[in-house]
Amino acid sequence: MRILVTGGAGFIGSAYIRYLLKHRPDVEVVNFDKLTYAGNLENLRGFDADPRYRFFKGDICEAADVARALQGVDAVVHFAAESHVDRSVLDPHAFFRNNVLGTQVLLEACRKAGVTRFHHVSTDEVYGDLALDEDRAFKETDVLHPRSAYAASKAGSDHVVMSYAHSFGMQVTISRCCNNYGTHQFPEKLIPLFTTNAMEDKPLPLFRSSKNTREWIHADDHSAAVDLILREGKIGEIYNIGTGVELSIEEITSLILETLGKPESLKTYVPDRPGHDRRYFIDSSKIKNELGWEPKILFEYGIRATILWYRDNPEWWKRVKTGEYQKYYDAYYKETLKETV
């Protein structure tokens, strides 16, 4: 089976590719990525030499790029997306272009190429938010109430995917996952940003609503869930992927400081972003009951291992935070990259 993974040089996409190459010897992987600021081929260093792996540089909004990459592909797993909520406040257009239009262009290219199996990776943020004391969790059947340009663009892409299932017979599934953590995450997101800032004794900028909570999952557990849905999920269905592990931003920050032996005085409080969601929490009983999935990585172990990975790999995040990763890309293309254009 040959799987095209869009956004495969990003944080979660690269985790999924590493998972496939480790656990699925029957699978070939085509990594399709535009290599924007958050795409980093170092995330796959060591795996890129596997003969089952190929890389195509391209834009999901460009049909010609997608068509070239789809040759010989049996299924698509669609991770590629603009995903940072703060950036969506500053530049909503980029989010709607890439997340909605890009998904439609990708689906249309699949339809023309005869690639009917399509898994779309969405987010729990499409449901909106819950009150901190609200005693319920979002279900797959809940009405969507996105509250940011990012969440709205992902909700839009969910609808685009389902429209291709109903109109053209595409064999689609959708997953909506809670907040991911793990290694190789671009340091604009909470855990890598605060971890690397703390190591440099820089302020950790918490929004004033730091008691807002998120549900947390390791990217490897997310990858295993997506793989299971692709293989055994019911066509046309949506699956929530969560762990039930819920911590506030304040609690995550304290964990980072404690693990690194840094003082609480590094916490700095800044004004909330517009429309800051209070709480995300999802009901994952469907994937557990129907497909038998369970998260395997205990949060206490996974979060500590993640923080220590950033501590022990300063060469990775310093290149990313300073922009030197672009120099790495240029050299990598010339010497070792198996790129088809």
Q: Are strands 246-248 and 213-218 parallel, antiparallel or unpaired?
A: antiparallel
State the CB neighbour count (10 A cutoff) for residue 314. Answer: 13
Query: Do 155 and 146 contact (CB within 8 A), yes or no?
Result: yes
Catalytic residue among 16, 127, 150, 310: 150
**3-state DSSP assignment of residue 248:** strand
C-alpha to C-alpha distance for 302 and 297, rounded to whole angstroms: 6
Catalytic residue among 42, 48, 125, 220: 125
Closest by alpha carbon to 174, among 127, 128, 103, 230? 230
What does each C-alpha distance from 26 to 67, 104, 233 come to in angstroms? 24, 29, 18
Is residue 129 flagged as an active site residue? no
What does each C-alpha distance from 258 to 134, 161, 318 come to in angstroms? 29, 43, 22
State the CB neighbour count (10 A cutoff) for residue 26. Answer: 7
Is residue 125 flagged as an active site residue? yes
Catalytic residue among 33, 48, 124, 140: 124
Is residue 272 flagged as an active site residue? no
3-state helix, strand, coil in the chain (%, to 5): 45, 20, 35
End-to-end Cα spacing for the chain: 22
C-alpha to C-alpha distance for 161 and 173, rounded to whole angstroms: 9
Which residues form the catalytic set?
A: 124-125, 150
